[in-house]
Every structure is written in structure tokens, then in C-alpha cells.
Structure 1
Amino acid sequence: MVVDCKSHSLLIVSCSQRKRNNPGLMRAIERYDGSAFWVTRRFLLQKTTGLLDIYILSAEFGLISSEQRIPNYDRRMTQQQAQQLQPRVIAELEKILNKKPYQQLLICVSRDYLQALNGYEQLIPKELTVQVTRGALGKKLSQLYQWLYGEPAKPRSSTSAISQGRACLRGVELVLTPEQVLEKARRWIVEGKGEFKRYQSWYVPIDDQKVASKWLVSQLTGLPVKTFTASEARRVLKQLGIEVIQIKDDSVVRSELK
């Protein structure tokens, strides 16, 4: 299966314990920061399509749109919570399925969350193809990737440029995976190289740190921050698969998804 621009597709993914702790409200697709959301956001960055709708099954809010703005919170899904949410979740799913002629549905949730969807089969129209991810987290992520892209994820190799991003700035070429960029950034932060917190409107989220995008590009290229612009830094990071966030009017906007 592959999400394309010819048919309506629906993705239901469970929320993650890992969340960005930004104050105020954030779009749900940005607030949750588990592995499935990294895969999904990367797809949205690379394969923008208006025919994919994403809904998130939340232990706190039930079944919500990925665009709904939510606060930070801490609630785990238990069997009891799933049973309590189930009637509301099924009612919301019925409304969603009646809105558009979906042809593909992927349910990527853990076992406890799946209980909150108990009975969903009765709502599925004949023309809708349904897939439910199975197995451990790694297998579920592989199934999510293949459903989105229509092909298995390519194996990552530190010596292969296939899975690496490429960027060039002032004659300096970078060939790195997102994981390699983040690993380097974490090491430089620990070593205290430069003022990584000195950002104005744009930053890169790394663990619980807000890292200046120009500082990171300067460290990667060896170029002084004064020799390139903030927009050039964002362009380089985007080409390397690194997310950059803009702070504007007390709200958070992820530039790559705009």
C-alpha cells in the first residue's frame, strides 16, 4: 500500500508518552514526539499530500485530529481507560469515516489503545482497505513506513549515502543522516562548544534543549555564523532531514510542514 495523491487515506496512530514540553498549545502532530511521529512527520515533509488525514488516539482526549491544538499532559492508556474511551472513540470514528470516501486505513496503535477501537470493524465500508500494524515497535514502524511510502525502509548505514541527506553551504558539502547530525550536536553541547542556546526566532529541538539553528550549522560546516544567513541555515538543516521550529506570537510553527 502507498499513500498517493489519487485516493483518500486515513491514518490512526496512538499518542506517545514522549512529548515536547513547550508551554501553551501545540498541534497534536507536533506535541507528540515518539518514533511513529518522527516517521510520519518525515513523510509529510517529503511527500506532501492533501488526501492523507491523520488522527491520533489519545489517552487524554480520545480520537482527535492531528491538527488539534493540545497542551502538554501526562496520562497513560490503561485497560480501564480504554474501556471508558471506547464508546466516544467509536462514535468519533464513525463521523470521520462518513466525511470522506476513504480507500485506505492504517491503524498503528499499541495493544491497550486497540481496545479503545473495539468494534471498529462494523463501521468499515466495503471499499475501504484496512491494515492494522502487528508485532513489536520496530515491526510496527516498518509497517507504517511501508504503508506511507509503498516500499520497505532502506537499511541505514553510517558509510552509505543512500539514507543520508546532502547539503552544501559556501562550498562546504555535508553528507549526513539526521541521526548523525543529532549525535554530533549532543556531543558539542556536552563539550560546551559555542553558545548553542543563542537563538531568536528559530531553533532545533534536541532532547530537552532548544538549539540555535545557525549555531548547529556553524558547527557542522566549520563556518562562522556571520558568514551565512538564518534562512540558509534552515535550508541546510531541512536538506539533512532536521526539523526547525519557529517561535512566533507565543505559538510554535514547524516550518517544514507549512
Structure 2
Amino acid sequence: MNFEHGNLLIVACSQRKRSDADLLPAIERYDGPVFRLLRRFLRKQPAAPLDIYILSAKFGLISSEYLIPDYDRRMTKTHSRQLQPEVIAKFEEILNVKSYQKLCLCLGRDYFLALDKYDILIKSGLSVRIATGSLGKKLATLHDWLYGKPPELAIGQAIALQGKACLKRIEVAMTPAQVLDVARQALAEGKGNPASYQSWYVLVGDRRVSPKWVVSLLTGLPVSDFHSSAARRMLQQLGVEIYRE
């Protein structure tokens, strides 16, 4: 990506956080899949002039370097609307301080309400990308925006087609590590029924989970919309190892 004029990224905070007692920069405190992807990118390209702001249910729109404690507060539609005037004012301030070339918004529906009418502040020449859909789709969009290309898979994963897989016209482009990050986050949040499998399973840490459950997370489709064989095929194309009892 061309960072000549600087780029701006706004992401939602994550429920998963580090529990350190001391204050931590927000980008280190939050530990969901989006933040792991961001930290990997910053390790690879530490000089990239990318400004990251985080929309927090507790603190509003803050810099990624803002020091925060561990806390537990969920964003609701009502609270997001209440934050909107403060968040929009901060967003306008950010845009007025620096001239950006590209903007990416990676937010869930509830969080997006806090940025309602953001588009009236967008200046001519600022390219806007919005990462929407399932967590897997948002991660893929964010990865492409940061790196300018889909994730690359290791040599030897010949079954993968350029790191992409498609199910019911929903395309997913993720590395195996990113897929497992999504699954870990969903396990921590208690989403769905991960243990509902018969013979085939995916290992997430020391837990066996259903391939259909994982694919449902990546695509946003209910597990009733596709067969187990289609789920296994998608995961194999993404380079995720599948086991059989």
C-alpha cells in the first residue's frame, strides 16, 4: 500500500483483552483477531505511517496508543447512539489535523451507529473502504487494505487456491492463523455450538470444534445452509488442518 500521505484506520474494540493490572496501550490491551492481525502488520512494517483509532464502548474514539486499564463493557445500540456526538466530533478533529489518503472502517453494526453521518466529513480525495459482514470477511478486507493483497499461504499447501475459498458466493481470504484466531474469539464469547461434530473436527488450542461451526463464523452463514463436506473443503482450501476421530 502507498502510505505517502498517511492512512487512517478505525476499528472496534474487542471483548477479549489482556488482563495485565498495569495500564496498557489500547492496541496491546485488546486481543481479538483484528488486533492480532494489526500487531503482526506493525511488526512487519513498523515505519508505515498508519494512524489507528479504536472505538471503545467505555472510552469513545481513542488513539491506539492511549493507555487503558482492563475493563468489561459491551457496546449496545443505545450506548452507541449516545456516543455519536462525541465520536463524530473526535473524528472531525482527526481529519482536520492531518491529510489522509485512505480510510478504512472496520466496525460491527452496533459500533457503526456511533459514526452515523460520518460521510459528510469525508473530504475530496480521501478513499474510503468499509469492512463489513462476518468476522472472517472483515478480517480479509482489513488484511487486503493493509497489505494491498490477500494473505499468502506457505509453500506446500497446494490444495489452496491463492489463499481463497468460496461458499455460496461468499469469498473468504485468510491464513490458517487468522481462521484459528476467529475461532478462539468465538469460543471465548460462547458463540454457537462448537462441539456439534461427528467424525471430523478442527483443533483450536486443545479443543475440538466442528468444521461447520468454524465456516459459519467465517462466512456468516447458518450451519444449516451448507453440508459438512463443503465446510471441510473450504477449510482445506484455506490451509486449515482437519482431523478425524
Same fold, TM exceeding 0.5? yes
1:41 aligns with 2:36: no
- Alignment-derived partner of residue 19 in structure 2: 21
| Runs of 5+ unmatched residues, structure 1 | 161-176, 183-206, 208-258
Q: CA deviation at 1:178?
A: 9.4
Residue 94 of structure 1 corresponds to which residue in structure 2? 92
For 2:58, the equivalent position in structure 1 comes to: 60
Which of 63, 68, 71 lines up with 2:69 in the alignment?
71
CA distance in 2, matches of 1:89, 1:102: 18
Match of 2:128 in 1: 130
Give me the whole-angstrom Cα distance separating, in 2, the residues matched to 1:78 and 1:178.
31
1:201-228: CA deviation from partner (whole Å, max 9, x where unpaired): xxxxxx9xxxxxxxxxxxxxxxxxxxxx
- Secondary structure of the residue that 1:116 maps to in structure 2? helix
Q: Deviations over 1:7-63 (max 9, x none)?
A: 210000000000000002000000000000011110000012252000000000000
Q: What amino acid is the match of 2:68?
A: I
1:140-179 aligned within 5 A: 140-155=138-153
SS of the counterpart of 1:81?
helix
Aligned to 1:111: 109
Gap runs ≥5 in structure 2: 159-174, 181-204, 206-245
Shift of 1:154: 2.4
Query: Which residue is 1:163 aligned to?
Result: none
SS of the equivalent of 2:89 reads helix
Is the contact between residue 5 and residue 49 of structure 1 (CA under 8 Å) also seen in structure 2?
A: no
Indicate the residue corresponding to 2:237 in structure 1. none
Structure 1 segments of 4+ aligned residues over 3 angstroms from their partners: 155-160
Deviation at 1:153, TM superposition (A): 1.5
Cα pair distance change 1:94/1:70, threshold 3 Å: same
Instruction: Tell me, in whole angstroms, the C-alpha distance in 2 between the residues paired with 1:6 and 1:138.
Output: 29
Tell me: CA distance 1:85–1:156, structure 2 relative to 1, closer, same or farther (3 Å): farther
Measure the CA separation in 1 of the matches of 2:97 and 2:40. Answer: 26
Residue type at the aligned position of 1:92:
K
Q: Distance in 2 between matches of 1:26 and 1:158?
A: 39
TM-score (norm 1): 0.60
User: What's the Cα RMSD here?
Assistant: 2.4
Deviation per CA, 1:58-96, whole angstroms, max 9, x where unpaired?
A: 000000000000000000000011011000000000000
Report how far residue 157 of structure 1 moved: 8.1
Letter in 1 for 2:150: P
CA distance in structure 1 between the aligned counterparts of 2:53 and 2:155, rounded to whole angstroms: 32
Measure the CA separation in 1 of the matches of 2:156 and 2:109: 33
The one-letter amino acid of 2:106's match is: C
Alignment partner for residue 81 of structure 1, among 79, 82, 85?
Answer: 79
Aligned-partner Cα distance in 2 for 1:9–1:159: 33
- Residue of structure 1 in register with 2:137 after alignment: 139
Aligned-partner Cα distance in 2 for 1:37–1:48: 15
SS in 2 for 1:53: strand
- Alpha-carbon distance in 1 for matches of 2:134, 2:156: 25
SS in 2 for 1:96: helix
